[in-house]
Amino acid sequence: MFEELCEHGNNSADYPKTARSPSLPKSTALKKCESLHKEERIKRLESFANDLKIVKRQDRLGPIKRETMGILSKAYEELGKLEKALHWADMWVAFDERDLYAQVRKAQLMCRIPELTNEGKDLLARLYKKVPEAEVVTNAYWACCLNAA
């Protein structure tokens, strides 16, 4: 399955030079999955993510693993499966605990699950106190505050 999804072979142009690149190019595998039906895409992406389990944050495939977990989280959210979306957001945070996008994503999902709402708000408040200058954190924090009012 991994080889089928990664038909780019050793084409290093598909990979960013650093894991911190702001606009990561989409891998061939992810582009290919975008044309499939939602359920099939999720199934293939989960299989692909499982193939990437051994990839570490500093590895060349790290950005692709990060993007895959984000896409899975968003796809499950769009299907209304918030618990599965939160699972992938948790995996994303575990992969790179310094990734603000992953932490904000997790907090936003927690805010939407009734029994985890307070934890999600607390996480956003901690992030806002830690990095108030980060636009993604600020926007999520104030959106949460407005929804709570």
CATH number, domain with residue 47:
1.25.40
The answer, yes or no, to whether residue 68 has pLDDT greater than 90, is yes
Same structural domain for residues 34 and 90? yes
- For 70-101, what is each residue's pLDDT tens digit? 999 999 999 999 999 999 999 999 999 999 99
Rg (CA), the chain: 16
Domain finish residue from 97, 118, 136? 97
The answer, yes or no, to whether residue 13 has pLDDT greater than 60, is no
The answer, yes or no, to whether residue 127 has pLDDT greater than 60, is yes
Same structural domain for residues 90 and 50? yes
Domain finish residue from 57, 77, 97? 97
CB-based contact 70:52 (threshold 8 Å): no
The pLDDT assigned to 33 comes to: 59
Taking residue 116's Cβ as centre, other Cβ atoms within 10 Å add up to 18
- HEC string of 92-136 equals HHHHCCCCHHHHHHHHHHHHHCHHHHHHHHHHHHHHHHHCCCCHH
Q: Which of 21 and 141 is assigned the larger pLDDT? A: 141
Percent pLDDT > 70 in the chain is 74
Same structural domain for residues 87 and 110? no
Distance of CA 88 to the CA centre of its chain: 7
The total number of structural domains in the chain stands at 2
The pLDDT assigned to 7 comes to: 38
Same structural domain for residues 89 and 105? no
Q: Which of 66 and 147 is assigned the larger pLDDT? A: 66
Mean pLDDT of 13-41: 58
Same structural domain for residues 87 and 114? no
Same structural domain for residues 83 and 26? yes
Taking residue 141's Cβ as centre, other Cβ atoms within 10 Å add up to 22
| Helix, strand and coil percent figures for the chain, each rounded to 5 | 70, 0, 30
Which range of residues forms the domain containing residue 118? 99-149
pTM of the model: 0.72
Mean pLDDT of the chain: 81
Same structural domain for residues 127 and 77? no
